[in-house]
Amino acid sequence: MMKWNNIVWIGLTALVAAQLPAGAEELKVYDTVLNFQLPDNWRQVGTDELGGMFSAEFLPQEQRLADWTSLVCVQGFHGMGDRITPQAFFETFTNNYKANCLGEMVYEPLGALEMATGEQSGFQAILGCSRMPDTHLHGEPSSRGEIGYYAVLGGGEDLLLMHKSMRGLEFTAANVPLNGSNYREFIAPLQPIKLNQSN
């Protein structure tokens, strides 16, 4: 399996090898250090690790995990990088997501992510559901539209899944709020995003 370090990952156009701005988030996920930028009014609200799976969630200051409308989530899967490609991993993830969707499924592949060397190292896509069940609000089942930008990064022993998602009113295939033409603006506040493999 190819080893990598000092990768700058933005999932958009050219890779940017600039210094991270002051105040950038730094998150150690197993053997990977992930740096990215959050808007000033966002904060980390949870971190968990169990059985080789890591997760961390970030929300705007005024929101809670129980009823979020904007979310950034980072998940790490220890040892998966040697067992499955980023695209195959995301296809499995998508199938599980589809099983929970009560409305129209939205899936728009955005292609491969690349390392600074030009080697393919990940996969990115838009994934959503026009009507996703939400059992957290006041303890009563409800549903809302949910959609986000997802990226899976490989290249080392582990896989990382990072996504920025939004929840709100139900939507239809004719008025999807996030797509291949506007996702760059949607994830711009997180950039630059930089990955390093720890020694």
Percent of the chain whose pLDDT exceeds 70: 79
131 Cβ neighbours under 8 A, 6+ residues apart? 101, 102, 103, 104, 143, 144, 145, 170
158 residue type, one letter? D
CB 52 within 8 A of CB 179: no
Return the pLDDT at 14: 31
Return the pLDDT at 118: 47
Within 10 Å of residue 180's Cβ, how many Cβ atoms? 12
Is pLDDT of 179 > 80? yes
How far is residue 21 CA from its own chain's centroid?
21
Is pLDDT of 5 > 70? no
Task: Report pLDDT digits (tens) over 148-169.
Answer: 999 998 767 899 999 999 999 9
Cα–Cα distance for residue pair 85/160, rounded to 1 Å: 11
Q: Which residues are bridge partners to 152 per DSSP?
A: 123, 161
Q: Is the dihedral of CA 96, 174, 164, 126 positive or negative?
A: positive
Question: Which of 168, 157, 155 minimizes the C-alpha distance to 68?
Answer: 168
Task: Report pLDDT digits (tens) over 123-150.
Answer: 999 999 999 887 554 445 567 999 999 9
Owner of token pair 């998602």: 165
Q: What is 140-173 written as a DSSP string? A: S-EEEEEEEEEEEE-SSSSEEEEEEEEEES---G
Within 10 Å of residue 86's Cβ, how many Cβ atoms? 24
CB 160 within 8 A of CB 118: no
What are 17's two structure tokens?
């090898």
Give the pLDDT band (50/70/90) at residue 35. confident
Q: What are phi and psi of 149, to 5 degrees?
A: -95, 125
Cα–Cα distance for residue pair 155/172, rounded to 1 Å: 36
